[in-house]
Amino acid sequence: MLSRLTCVFVLACACACDKPTLARDGTVVFPENGGRGASVLTANGVEFHDRMDVPQRVNVRDPSEPWRAPIGFILPKNNRFTVTSRPTVVGTTGFAVALRPSDTRVPSWGGEVLMRIDILAPAAEGTARWGEDVAIVIDERGPDTLALADVALSQLGGRDRITIVDARGAKVILPMMPASHRSMATAALEKYLKKPPSAELDLAKAINVAHAALSKTTLRRIVVLSDRKKSDPIPEPLAKALRDLATDHVALAVVGASDSSSKSALDAIAHEAGGTWNADGTIEARSWAVREAVPASGKVAFKDVVLTFAGTPAPSHVLEASGGDVRWRLDAGELAIGDVRAGDARTEVARVSVPAWVPAEAFKFTVTAHFDDVARNGERRDFSATIPCVYDDDIERIAQSRHGDVIAYSSALATLKRLDAAFIGEGVDRAGGLVAVAKMHAQSMTLLARDMKDPAYKEQADLLNALLAATAD
């Protein structure tokens, strides 16, 4: 019996083009670089699936049963993307939604599609302010730090840029990036705040780092979120950093990160730079102080925006989203975005399920935007567009046609503990996380941008690489 197993093992090694590896569950995986098929990311690592290995459909017998993927996340066998998405635009005057799916070939055994959603509200003259650079500095962490930072981010629009710096070690939590990546910024901060502090406080250095990141040609603001409990003398390095802000006309606001933040401590920091401070009252009062410090990007133009995803054949459901409120209907899924201001721009990613169907048959998403148009006295309006796809049972063909730009962006977001179920599901921690996979996707985007000679994709790859470096454990 032992000799028979040895023969099987040697034969498998001879057929494979690389040495076998031991997966986390004890199974042996044989890479087949010369074979026809695709790599599949699972909780046990990356496994090779032959193109003839068609997964079994998942039959759901209970409508309350959670959706399950029939197979892991599909990747090209060389882990290199060669295709990028083309947007489908749903729009009307002053409002547009650009939809970029991760796939136009969907598995006939059922699965899901990642959908990048870019929400744009171009501003008419006088309806939005000019773009600004905003830096959030986390001084002493408090229970309301994340909520107040989220309030500041919600005030920003498509012309704005944002960076976040921690005063402990002057660590850059979020490199300077367009404020349209709001969910990514919030997720990066949320992940960082879950880690215990590992460095000494150096507010002076943090303010200098934030000051240096701001451009010289636009309005600039720094918001310090602090939970200092007592008023210590301001050391000279901090006093100099604060005076430099005043000299350079950088607006400063200091807001308490809890109800118990010291008034005198925050006042002393703000006074040194000629800024404003607020440590009083409830979270609502301090949220209002943040809104005063960071003016809204523009007036509310569209209220109660909801995107409906309907699949043909049905049903398709929005399983998860990086932002907004996910709602399930019997035959479709909804993503509630909320209000959209003039000049607003934000990017979200949603996971949308695809039902099983016959290979080579057509599948399509019909995406409809519903909203109240403020300019028309709150009239409820809607418009829609269709994203065409086709069912396929060839895993290699599906893998080669995947859109690298959508997947790279989504995997970077998934490293921040959002959308991670799209890649590995509940086994993300057991598989060691997604950082290595996200870095591989970002590198693939860099190579793709070079081959396509497209600077836009290079810019996205640089942004993702900077984010992954800043949030690395």
Query: In the chain, which segments carry CATH 2.60.40.3880?
Result: 88-124+299-470
- Asked if the 88-124+299-470 domain carries CATH number 2.60.40.3880, the reply is yes
**Assigned CATH topology for domain 132-293:** Rossmann fold (3.40.50)
Query: In the chain, which segments carry CATH 3.40.50.410?
Result: 132-293
Q: What is the pLDDT of residue 74?
A: 93
**Contact (CB, 8 A) for 420 and 56:** no
The 10s digit of each residue's pLDDT in 70-96 is 888 999 988 889 999 999 998 888 899
Q: What is the pLDDT of residue 51?
A: 83
Q: What is the pLDDT of residue 3?
A: 44
pLDDT by position in tens, the chain (length 473): 434 434 433 334 444 445 555 455 444 454 555 568 998 888 777 888 888 887 878 776 766 666 777 888 999 988 889 999 999 998 888 899 999 999 999 999 999 999 999 999 988 878 889 999 999 999 999 999 999 999 999 999 989 999 999 999 999 999 999 999 999 999 999 999 999 988 999 999 999 999 999 999 899 999 999 999 988 889 999 999 999 999 999 999 999 999 999 999 999 999 999 998 888 788 999 999 999 999 999 999 999 999 999 999 999 999 999 999 999 888 899 999 999 999 999 999 999 999 999 999 999 999 999 999 999 999 999 999 999 999 999 999 999 999 999 999 999 999 998 888 888 877 777 767 788 889 999 999 999 999 888 888 999 999 999 999 998 86
Measured CA to CA, the distance from residue 40 to residue 46 in angstroms comes to 6
